[in-house]
Structure formats: structure tokens, C-alpha cells
Amino acid sequence: MHAKIDQAPDGRNNIEALAENVRAGGRVSIARAITLIESRKPEHRAQARRLLTLLNDAAGRAHRIGITGVPGVGKSTLIDSFGSLLTAKGHRVAVLAVDPSSSRSGGAILGDKTRMAQLAADPNAFIRPSPSSGTLGGVARTTRETILLCEASGFDVVLVETVGVGQSEVAVAGMVDFFLLLMLAGGGDELQGIKKGVMELADMIAITKADGGNERAARAAASDYAAALNILTPGSSTWKPPVMTISAREGRGLEDLWAQIEAHRAALEATSEFEAKRRGQDVRWMHAIIEDHIRMKFLADEAASAKISALEEDVRSGAKPPSVAADEAVSLIFGRL
């Protein structure tokens, strides 16, 4: 897919025309806008900055919901059922599903539309699978900007699905309003191997697949997690994360899930914590973009790139400790900038 922006037929600036079409909710325009901001070409980055500036007043209009869990927990199945429930209520739902990229080819699985068949066919839903391209935690470099584009296009619920590996939970929790952690029951010691940090990030824990004779195990797991949360430091002083069971296949627990999401937002808005959280996320987003641009600018320099390659060989051969090589690279970065 190309990031080329066609000439506006009435002579308007191409980016201004694209911004208007995004606001109008045109699917093709949304897809083209996302492709533009995903491009690393300098000319496209300049166009993307202009586009985001034009649409910035629309930022923050949606419920931003992050969903994570280990592979096989049923994230896509839940999103398909939950998203369909929300569109039936009159909401417009965007799903940003970050796919793991191949470390060899850079290709992505991009199978989310087949796993979310019901939602993919819904005219009030938009699914955008994006390859992570090796970024930390499997979260696409431009996921935050894509959220803004979806909000500008009138989607009032944005679901961000992570691959559930590495640091993806931390990255997604830092860009959403409500962070849902999905867990499985029936795996022996329910709390074995669960990272304390992930549970502290969660605004709610849901035990999935509570059906087909697995209801008792799911309830037992929910009880264990609720007890564990009691000894952890909550992420908010105004919200105690609930634990519930869900069957996406049978549609049970989905209404309660939405009720909890709305209750969470109401609780945080009542104390101004919601707005403070959004603004803090924006500042962290700015710093992440700064770091990304510094790295891109540095590696675009042929001499600097060659020096980094040489430092990599020094580390690989044992000639230099990683910390020493890193210090040299940082000194070179500041010298080049």
C-alpha cells in the first residue's frame, strides 16, 4: 500500500482534503491516513505532522480500551463479541490489532479480520491490523496517532489489542483509559508465573472461556485473582479493579464489562484524575516520539550507521563491553546532532 495522497479535485491542499475526508468517516481515507503516518519517509512524515495538527482538536473523544493477555486467552474472540455488542448499542468501534512481525522477514500475521469475522462485516466497525515491525513490546510505533485518526473519524470506542508478550502491556496501558487483562482458568496454580507488574496495571481482570463446563474453574480463578489484587498497590486511588468471568462465545459478562468501563471513567472524571491521566500520557507520547526521531535521524547518517555497525562487531567479538560501546554511540549521537 502506498502513502501517496491524490490531488484534491477542487485545488485544495491534499492534506487538508484528506483531513476533511477522515472527519467525514470515509473508510478509504482513514486507511490512507494511517498508511501515511506509518511511513518513515521524510516527506511523508512532514505530511503526517500536518494531518495530525489539523485533526488534533478531535483527540480524546473516544473510550480508549487496551486488551491484553497471553496468546490463546481469547482476545480476538472477545473483541469480536464485545465490539458487536457495542455497535448494536449505537457505538462506532475501531479495533487496532498489533500483529507480531517476523524477526526475519518483517512480515506480519495480519489474521485479525478472519478471527473477528462478525465485527469485520459490521459497517459501524473498523479493524486495522498493523505489523509491529520489531518495536518494543509489539506495539506499533504509530498506534497512538492511529487512535487520534479514529477519534477524528467519529469512532467513540477504540480497542487496542496487544500480542500479550514482552513489554506490550506497559506500552498499551500508557496510551489507554481502561486496561483489561484477560486470564485463563484451569491451568493448575492460577497465580503461578503471573507478573505482579501486569496485574498492577490492570483496571479489571476477566477470566475468559467461562463456559463448556469450565464455569466452576473460572469462578475459582476469579476468587484467587481478587485475593491477589487485595495485596497489590492499586493504580488509582479512586478505582478498585474488579475481577469477573466472561464467556465471549455465549455472550455472558459482556454487558457487565461495558458497565465497569463506564463506571471506571465516571469515577476518574469525578476527581479530575481522568483528564490528568490523559495529559500525562500525551507528555510521555511526546518523549517517545522524540526518542524515535533522534534514532531515525542518527541512523540515517551513513557514517553514524557504519560506526554503530563497528560497535556492534566490537561487542559481538568481546572487544568492548556493551556499556562502553553504548557510551561511544551516545557521544556520537550528540556530536552528530
Is the CB of residue 5 less than 8 Å from the CB of residue 18? yes
- Give the residue with greater pLDDT, 6 vs 185: 185
pTM score, whole prediction: 0.83
Percentage, residues of the chain above pLDDT 90: 45
Look at residue 97 and tell me whether its pLDDT is greater than 50.
yes
Question: pLDDT tens-digit profile of 289-304?
Answer: 788 777 777 777 788 8
- In what order do the strands lie in the sheet containing 243-245? 125-131, 93-99, 157-161, 63-68, 178-183, 204-207, 243-245
User: What are the structural domains, with CATH classification, of the chain?
Assistant: 14-55 (1.20.5.170), 59-270 (3.40.50.300), 280-336 (1.10.287)
Q: What is the CA radius of gyration of the chain?
A: 22
158 φ/ψ angles, rounded to the nearest 5 degrees: -120, 120
Question: pLDDT tens-digit profile of 189-206?
Answer: 445 445 666 788 889 999
306 φ/ψ angles, rounded to the nearest 5 degrees: -65, -40
Q: So what's the pLDDT on residue 80? A: 94
Look at residue 329 and tell me whether its pLDDT is greater than 70.
yes
Look at residue 165 and tell me whether its pLDDT is greater than 80.
no
